Structure 1
Amino acid sequence: MLTAVRSTFTPGLNTLPAAGTADDKIQAYNFRMTMTNSAKWRKPLPTTPPPGYDVADYEVLLRFMAANPTKVSFFDYFKADAFYTANGESKFDVNNRAGPAAPSTDFLGRNWDYPLASYSAREAIWKAHWNWIVGMLYLMQHGTDPRIPAALKTNCLSWGFVSDHYFSPHENDTVGMNPQMYVREALRLDGVAKLLGTELTRGDGGVPSISTNTVSMISYFMDSHAIQYIALEKTAGVWIVASEGGMAVDLGGSDGMFPLPLEVCTPKPGDCTNGFVSFGLSASHVAFGAGRMEFTAMQTGQSLGQIAAEAIKNNRTFQDPANYPAARTALLANAFALTNEPVPILAQTT
Structure 2
Amino acid sequence: MAATLEEVPRRGWILVKALMRFAFMIFNNLVAIPSYVCYVIVLQPLRVLDRKRFWYIEGTMYKWLLGMVASWGWFAGYTVMEWGEDIKAISEDEAMMLVNHQATGDVCTLMMCLQDKGRAVAQLIWLMDHIFKYTNFGIVSLIHGDFFIRQGKSHRDQQLLLLKKHLENNYRSRDRKWIVLFPEGGFLRKRRETSQVYAKKNNLPFLTHVTLPRFGATKIILSVLVARQENGSQAGGDAKELESKSKGLQWIIDTTIAYPKAEPLDIQTWILGYRKPTVTHVHYRIFPVKDVPLETDDLANWLYQRFIEKEDLLSHFYKTGAFPPVKGQKEAVSREMNLSNTWLFLIYSFAVLSACM
User: Above 0.5 in TM-score?
Assistant: no
- TM-score (norm: length of structure 2): 0.21
Considering fraction of residues, name the structure with more helix.
Answer: 2
